[in-house]
Structure 1
Amino acid sequence: MASRSSKWHGRVEGAASECAVPGCAEAGEYKAPLSPGGFDGPGSWRWLCLDHVREHNKRYNYFDGMSPDEIEAAQSPIAGWERATRAFASNGDPAPAWADFKDPLDAISARYRPMATRQGVDRFTAREREALDALGLGDDADRGAVRRAYSTLVRRYHPDRNGGDRRHEKKLTRVIEAYQTLKGARALA
């Protein structure tokens, strides 16, 4: 079994019996790539002695065959970091909308105010408060309470559930519109 030695960087003792260069009888203890490996795997390797791996390293040119634009892109400090990443998870407390504030510092400080002080003041817009009233809820409602109130009122006012009584169609329409409004509310995200 091959083991790593710390004296010479890259040296693997006992990796091969001899150097891969024809006519060399030295021990092959250094891995040298036959072709550059990509992201699909480690590439092809051969085992060389210290002198031959030094020669190999002198001849090796990473940029061989690249255009000047490709070389510049590879040398960029952000090379490899420009790909898309997944979004960070939020802590569940929605950030205030910048458009709701005239002063950016107010928007920043609103983010760090305790939720209890923000509940009735800037949590819901006027349209969302009207929707809460239509469902019979207050400013302290959460997503579950909105869903329960909506289900209860739809069962009460829908003609299929109340024996075909169509007198409550306007109330049913108002309840459905209120739920659609609150479904996209930032405060319930």
Structure 2
Amino acid sequence: MPRAFQYRPKFVDIRVRPPVEGETPEPEADVYTLKPGERPCDHPECRKAATARAPKARDMLHEHYWFCQPHAAEYNRNWNFFAGLTEAEIRRRQTEELMTGGRPTWEMRAGRMSRESAAFAARFGTGQGYKDPFGMFGGGGHSARKPEPERRKLGKIERNALADLDLDDDADGPAIRARYTELVRRLHPDANGGDRSGENRLQRVIRAYQSLRKAGMV
């Protein structure tokens, strides 16, 4: 071949060198090796880096699994926040989400026996601060009103149970029993010619009454 037509590579020759007999081939680089600062996906046998997090359970929203993007999508498709709840509990949660965003709420006032209330009343009773002749601020004036009795403290389960029975928070045992008997007689299918349209409400009434009995209110 003439000299002018000889092959002269202009750049680095990238042709693969054939393996030499008896030579141990170099191990291939692991494309799934985690970089510093990356965490592995929590899905079993997955070697990819985790890039998304997902809550572990409905009552563990602040604890998370870490998944790669495909496994995070699979986890989200199978996630059901309301799994295991009754229809009444689902409706109650949806109402709370609309009213308060699902966050707990507290009364914006100090209790009558709190430290702040005691210090406030002491200042008025000893002549410090403003005069309160009518006892409007708990200072004990000549025409001070008698303190109202504190309402009994109810938990969320008891308040919801009373609401299912259409009763106020101050309902006593006889009133609860009377209301329960009235609703059972009204909603039972035998009292409606076999009509089962009120059966769901009847089940809520029975569960509410059992919760109140368990709480010692009946």
Where relative contact order (Cα < 8 A, 6+ residues apart) is larger, the structure is: 1
Range class of TM-score, shorter chain: 0.3 to 0.5
| Structure with greater helix percent | 1
Question: Which is greater in Rg?
Answer: 2
